[in-house]
A = this chain, B = another copy of it.
Amino acid sequence: MVRFALFGAGRIGAMHAANIAAHPRAALHCVYDVNAAAARKVAEAHGAQVASSVATALADPAVDAVMIASSTDTHVDLITAAAKAGKAILCEKPIDLDIRRVEQCRRDIAGTNVPIQLGFNRRYDPSHRAVREAVAGGEIGALHLMVITSRDPGLAPMEYLKVSGGIFRDMMIHDFDLARFILGEDPAEVFATGSVLIEPALAGIGDVDTAMVVLKAPSGALVHINNSRQAVYGYDQRVEAFGARGMVQSENWRGSSLRRWTAHATDAQEPLLHFFIQRYAQAYLDELNEFVACVADRKTPSVGFEDGRRALIIADAAWESLRSGRAVRISYD
């Protein structure tokens, strides 16, 4: 059994709590949140304890692992503390919005030897993963082109957007990671552009709501990513990988396979699954499965701290490109 301390009892923390509680090889030992009432509610739902502080939870020998689902600005401190306490770590993306803090964290945890897994959920989606497997297995030959479409169903509140780090660090960072995952190599160059087409107030904080990026990999493979903060038809998540011997596509999922035929439209499909918790429900389970197996069997998670760091480096380079109008070479050193 892998016994978890959960840090953060908001929407995504509550989902992780339920997944841990239902997992045959995992147990939810305790929950901490700065909002004590939220922690209590999640803890009670699953018969777990409320931890009085992070330190208490990390000092508890009954805790094997931590699930970090608190706000982004707390991630670095929690990773550092948990690593020094010898707890395995599953941390929601991103590590931090500031690459300097990520680098400092990297130095601080050097030498600790705990499993650290980053919560890049898309890597665990059965269809996106099948794209990776097709590419890695040579099914489509050398990879030439990739197109990632990633559009949210609606704009987050401005209070959130103000501290989100901007579209590349908050939203497209998932797609940067997915690109690295499927490419099997690190992009060497990024070009980014964007527009404010949905929420004019974003201009005031230097952000955009609509963005397009092109990545170039050392192999010459080219990747396009497009993001929108608001797709009225729902949460649109697609990946297309095109190579020398064919193409594979990961298409959207729906809640049912119903098709409708009326005088106005034929063969219309069901709405898309609403948002990430529904769309990536299976991915969150599989992400937890991998982490629990790594902790229990002392293996290294396939997506770790370095993956979180590199995705942020690409996001920073994308901002630089957006501002300069130039393709930016990416250095991962």
Contacts and interface: CB of A to CB of B under 8 A. Distances in A.
Nearest to A272: B266
A53 B147 CA distance: 49
A135 to B, nearest CB: 12
Interface residues of A, number: 71
Interface string A174-212: 000000000000000101011111100000000000111
For this chain, the copies found in one complex come to: 4
Given A147-B226, A195-B221, A258 B266 contact: no
A221 to B, nearest CB: 7
Given A197-B244, A210-B145, A233-B263, A258 B226 contact: no
Given A126-B255, A249-B258, A193 B210 contact: no
Nearest to A151: B242
Contact of A245 (B149, B220, B232, B245): B232
Contacts of A195: 144, 216, 220-222
A138 interface: no
12 contacts: A130-B270, A151-B242, A193-B222, A195-B222, A197-B221, A212-B214, A222-B226, A232-B245, A236-B247, A249-B261, A251-B259, A266-B272
Interface of A: 22, 126-127, 130-131, 134, 139, 142, 144-145, 147, 149, 151, 189, 191, 193-198, 210-212, 214, 216, 220-222, 224, 226, 228, 230-234, 236, 242, 244-272, 325-327
